[in-house]
Amino acid sequence: MAAASSVTRALRIMEAVAAAGDGITPKAIARRLGCPLPTVYRALGTLVEQGYLVRLHEVRGYGLGYRVAELQHSLAEQVRPPAAVRTVLHEVHLELGAAAYLVARRDADVVVAHVDDCPEHPLAPGLRAGEPTAPHATAAGKAVLSGLRGPRLTELLGRVGLPALAPHTVADRRGLDRELRRVRAEGVAVEVEEYAAGVAGLAVPVLGPDGEVVAGLGVSVSRADFAARRWELERGVRRAGSRVAALPVG
C-alpha cells in the first residue's frame, strides 16, 4: 500500500508541475496537494533523477522533464498508421486544401492516429496525434462510433462521456444514437461547431477486411469553408476512405 501511495503521490506531483508550468516551487506543490514538504522533496528528487522532472535553477523551481516527451512520442508512434496511409492523408490535405486526420479505436478510447495539416489549413485545436479525442463531437470520431453497437458503444461512451464542447455538440445519448444511425445509412459523418466554435468537418468510416469499422478518416475546415465546399470535401474524403480501406491501417 505504501508503494502504491508513493506512486500516486509522484503522479500527482507531475500533474501539479504540468498545470503550473516551469518554475513551481516545492512549497507551492505541497500547498496544492496538501502534502508534507519533506515528502514532496523526496518525490521530487526521485522524479528528477529518473528524468520525469527537471530542476530549473534560473526560475528556482521545477518543470516537466524530457522523459515525458519521450513517452508521448512513443505513444504517437504506436498508434501511427503505415506510410501508405499517411501518404493518402497528405494527398487529401493538398488536394482539398483542408487539414486531414485519422482516428482509430484503442480499447475503450478513440485516439488521433495521424494528422496532416499546415498553418494555412490547421486541424481543430486540441486534436493531436497520439492523444484521445471526444468521439461524439468530431466527424472522424462519430465515423468510428458508427461501427459500434449495444454494449460496446455503451462501454466506450460510459468511459469518455458526452461533454458539451461547443455550440452544437450532441451531448445526449438519444441524439447521438440518431446521428450514428444517419452515419451508418449515408456512410459519412458531419459535424458543424460540435467540437469547436467556427470549425466544421466530415469523415468516413474506414472498413477493415472483415467489414468492421477500424478507423475514421476526416477533414477539418472553417465553418464558412465547409458551407462553400461541402460536396467537394465529401467526394474527396469518400475517395480517400476507399483507398485507405484497401491498405493495412495499423
Residue 1 has pLDDT above 70, yes or no: no
Distances (CA, A) of 150 to 139, 144, 145, 183: 20, 14, 11, 16
The arithmetic mean of pLDDT across residues 65-86, rounded, is: 82
* pLDDT-based confidence at residue 193 (cuts at 50, 70, 90): very high
Q: How confident is the model at residue 250 (pLDDT cuts 50, 70, 90)?
A: low
Question: Which has the closest alpha carbon to 192: 149, 226, 150, 160?
Answer: 226
Which residues are CB-contacts of 189 (< 8 A; sequence separation ≥ 6)?
139, 140, 142, 143, 146, 179, 183, 202, 203, 204, 205, 216, 218
Residue-level pLDDT at 125:
86
Cβ-proximal residues to 72 (8 Å cutoff; 6+ apart), any chain = 130
Indicate whether 57 pLDDT > 90.
Answer: no
pLDDT band at 144; cut points 50, 70, 90: very high
Measured CA to CA in angstroms, residue 240 lies from 55, 58, 135, 184, 237 at distances of 47, 50, 20, 18, 5
Residue 223 pLDDT = 96
Q: Average of pLDDT values for 130-159?
A: 92
Mean pLDDT to the nearest integer, 59-72: 85
Quick check: 83 and 123 in contact, CB under 8 A? no
Q: Which residue has the higher pLDDT, 25 or 3?
A: 25
Residues 49 and 180: their CA atoms lie apart, in Å, by 49
Q: Judging by beta carbons within 10 Å of its beta carbon (0-12, 13-18, 19+), is residue 137 exposed, middle or buried? A: buried
Residue 202: pLDDT band (50, 70, 90) is very high
Report phi then psi at 25, rounded to 5. Answer: -95, 160
Q: For 213-239, what is each residue's pLDDT tens digit?
A: 999 999 999 999 999 999 999 999 999
- Rounded percentage of the chain residues whose pLDDT exceeds 70: 98
- Taking 3-state DSSP, the helix, strand and coil percentages for the chain, each rounded to the nearest 5, stand at 50, 20, 30
Residue 3 pLDDT more than 70? no
Q: Report the distance separating Cα 127 and Cα 145, nearest Å.
A: 17
pLDDT in tens, 15-43: 998 888 888 999 999 999 998 999 999 99
pLDDT-based confidence at 70, cuts 50/70/90?
Answer: confident
